[in-house]
Amino acid sequence: MSAVPPPEWSHIVAVDAVGRTGTMHLIADADARTLLARRLGLDALDRFEVHAALTATAEGILLDGRIDADVEQSCAATTLPVATRINDAFRLRFVAHLGDGVGDIADEEGIELGADDCDLVEIEDQRIDVAEAAVQSLALALPPFPRHPDADRILREKGVKAEGEAGPFAALAALKNLPT
């Protein structure tokens, strides 16, 4: 049986301490940012801060937070570095048990989530890792295909055609301009 590696960055709050924690301002140090950048496939994670608050509700524990990060990714087209500032709110509800999958809400078809709905996370060992929740929220907030501002120019200089110039409709457009 293999051991689970420790998280790169962690801030644990015991469930019975919720309500006494107030708001939290977490800042990842340089070592944690280096490890998180590797985990998330980033070229660099220059800054990562989290503002969060936990609130006990009848449905579980609500985590309201905001991530503020400076990341560097590789351009999807040129591999040049692309700096991005992420400033994104997130909301998670921690619950004691998500269910066994039989007859759960997740099994119903056609469920629509509204603006007030949030992701559900199962509480493990009566503890909540606020930092890990923020890391997962950062992963979801990252641009999936970052693009350098000069990407189009660079690709054109290398002879790569734009999408409108290379497809079947571009060939038809070229036929339209033939002399008759």
Kindly state the helix (H) or strand (E) to which residue 14 belongs, with its residue range.
Answer: strand 12-14
Give residue 102's pLDDT. Answer: 45
Please say whether the beta carbons of 120 and 95 come within 8 A. yes
HSE, side-chain direction, 13 A CA sphere, residue 115: 1
């991530």: which residue's tokens? 67
Give residue 164's pLDDT. Answer: 62
| pTM reported for the whole predicted model | 0.77
Give residue 117's pLDDT. Answer: 62
CA distances, 101 to each of 93, 96, 104, 108 (Å): 18, 15, 5, 10
Ranges under pLDDT 70 in the chain: 1-5, 99-117, 162-167, 169-180
Give residue 148's pLDDT. Answer: 92
| Bridge partner residues of 127 (DSSP) | 14, 124
Tokens of 120: 């559900």
Give residue 2's pLDDT. Answer: 57
